[in-house]
Structure 1
Amino acid sequence: MAREGAERPPEETLSLWKREQARLKARVVDWDTEAWQRDPDFSGLQRVGGVDVSFVEGDSVSACVSLVVLSYPELEVVYEECRMVTLTAPYVSGFLAFREVPFLVEAVQRLQEKEPDLMPQVLLVDGNGVLHHQGFGVACHLGVLTDLPSVGVAKKLLQVDGLEKSDLHKEKIRLLRAGEDTFPLVGGSGVVLGMALKSHDHSTNPLYVSVGHRISLEAAVRLTRACCRFRTPEPVRQADIRSREYIRRTLGSHGPPALRQERIQKAQRSEACPRGGLGEPEGEDRSPQDHSPDPGAELDEPSEAPRDSGNLKNRAVMMSVSTDQSLYRAKNTP
């Protein structure tokens, strides 16, 4: 989800983020709080949410925030919202939530106001939960602020607490024979921070599942597995597909005007130097941490978002959010 910003926030903002992160971390619940979580078939679970933040190519601050709600177990989209936003806080490793979560919270709040009967009973987040530098990633942050059960589902291993992409880790991945195989992610502290999950028989790269809020790791892994038609769980996958499609519809296939002009200039340089002496390959201006398509996804997502399937009218799961949004806006003045 992250894309690097150009500026680092002032030290006073970082100190504020650290204090707020510690305060919210104390509220994390890492066990099952709902009856459906303890049921082998998730009986009682009817709505699963997914969130995603997709960036405009060549732009480190313009992004599309998407929230989708899927019926369970059908995994059909019953609600979606996509909205373009401008991220004012810079990217700082370990503090991604302060850059992105405020917009996700607002999306959940709008759903609560517009369609309370469609509120999700759990959120799947493209990112980490307790598998994090400070044990409080995006999935935890969003779960605590919305008071919704949440699960972190990451495509890449966040190397914290001694976890690393070592030969041993690669060997464990190789030994994941079939879809649903797992192995625990045990940090140097001896704490199990998450699970590596082979979510599909034809997937070579696992997902990294961790607790966000109000759910156990065991239930989080089972739920992630149950929501996978492809490598990525369907709520996250649909949020990603729809946010990218929204960007294409909103900005056109060639992106914002500044980027279009840049591409024209590159094309002109390439024509003047057909062997590429002055031309640059398209995409070189992208940050390594852009939200780009996952190279490990063996099963490609469709290029167009499928049609929605109607609405579910069920009992609302109420949300309690109490937060000062000003905490999540990086100040430009020291």
Structure 2
Amino acid sequence: MSARPAEELVEQWESEQARLRQQVVEEDTEDWQRSPHFSGLQRVGGVDLSFIKGDDVNACAQLVVLSYPDLEVLYEDSQMVTLTAPYIAGFLAFRETPFLLEALQRLERNQPKLVPQVVFVDGNGLFHYREFGLACHLGVLSGLPCVGVAKNLLQVQGVYKNEEHQSQIDALQKGGDSFPLTAASGKVLGKALRSSDKSTKPVYVSVGHKISVDTALRLTHSCCRYRVPEPIRQQSPGRCSCTGAV
């Protein structure tokens, strides 16, 4: 791709992100979100794209739906897809969202009673260069509450992987402990969560759509048996039934 078309694409995507960003709802919108024990929540989903080693074009788009609070698998969908959009840092959603959205729409057509009430996204939401990561993008386009859960720290908006950050991690004593990811502007873009007593390495939780950061944090912790919440953990590459089908 030549420099000029790439610049034009970035401009186009920045404009689209800014337009969609205005539609993000950063508050609780559902009754179950306001319940101390999430009464009324029955189905939690998780989405991810798994790449085959050495291949950044062909991937397996996965969607799982689990029961809540038991976290038993109710539905699984994995489809081999070919990504056509280029990878540009900060615009991952333009590569991945169409296929994840397709999986949700397929479920809605075929088994509407299993559509999740909230979707966990393996990636970031508001914790992003322009406060509009993959979880926000999918949330706005699907209309579903979404939570971004990243395994690694994205160094953006004045949040860095430095000694201060490590000392905050070290101060997390038990599962459920957290600290805010505060931008240089002072806005809290997400929270680092120690998701279980056994795991000292945190996950990074941020709002995607139609949920508050505190509810997203509480829900993520309630879905963790190990470090990564079950709706995302259940999508390890080894579980992808279409891996190697290219």
User: TM-score scaled by structure 2?
Assistant: 0.96
Do the aligned partners of residues 236 and 22 (structure 1) sit closer, same or farther apart at CA in structure 2, a change above 3 Å counting? same
For 1:231 and 1:119, locate their aligned partners in 2 and report how far apart those are by CA, in whole Å.
25
2:215 is matched with which residue: 210, 219, 224?
A: 219
Q: 2:135 aligns with which of 139, 151, 159?
A: 139
Match of 1:81 among 71, 77, 81: 77
Q: Which has the higher strand share?
A: 2
- 1:108 match: 104
Name the counterpart of 1:174: 170
Q: Where in structure 1 are there 5+ consecutive unaligned residues?
A: 1-5, 252-334
1:152 aligns with 2:143: no
Question: Measured at CA, do residues 218 and 189 of structure 1 come closer, stay the same or move farther in structure 2, by a change above 3 Å?
Answer: same
Aligned to 1:66: 62
| Amino acid corresponding to residue 54 of structure 1 in structure 2 | S
Structure 2 stretches of 5 or more lacking a match? none
**Aligned sequence identity (%):** 59
Give the conservation status (yes or no) of the 8 Å contact 1:154–1:207: yes
Given residue 247 of structure 1, which amino acid in structure 2 is its aligned partner?
T
Q: Could you tell me which residue of structure 2 aligns to residue 210 of structure 1?
A: 206
Any conservation in 1 of the 2:13–2:91 contact (CA below 8 Å)? yes
State TM-score, norm by structure 1: 0.71
**For 2:127 and 2:239, how far apart are their aligned partners in 1?**
25
Residue pair 1:66, 1:243 contacting (<8 A) in 2 also: no
Equivalent residue letter for 1:157: L
Amino acid corresponding to residue 148 of structure 2 in structure 1: G
What count of residue pairs does the alignment treat as equivalent? 245
Counterparts of 1:241 and 1:56, CA distance in 2: 8
Change (3 A) 1:34 1:137: same
Deviations 1:256-314 (A, max 9, x none): xxxxxxxxxxxxxxxxxxxxxxxxxxxxxxxxxxxxxxxxxxxxxxxxxxxxxxxxxxx
Compare relative contact order (CA 8 Å, sep 6+) and give the higher one, 1 or 2: 1
Alignment of 1:1-334 (within 5 A): 10-241=6-237, 244-248=240-244, 250=245
Task: Specify the structure having the higher radius of gyration (Cα).
Answer: 1
Question: How many angstroms apart in 1 are the aligned matches of 2:181 and 2:191?
Answer: 5
1:11 and 1:169 map into 2 onto residues whose CA distance is 34
2:185, 2:241 → 1: CA distance?
42
> RMSD across aligned C-alpha pairs, in angstroms?
1.4
Contact 1:52 1:243 in 2 (8 A): no
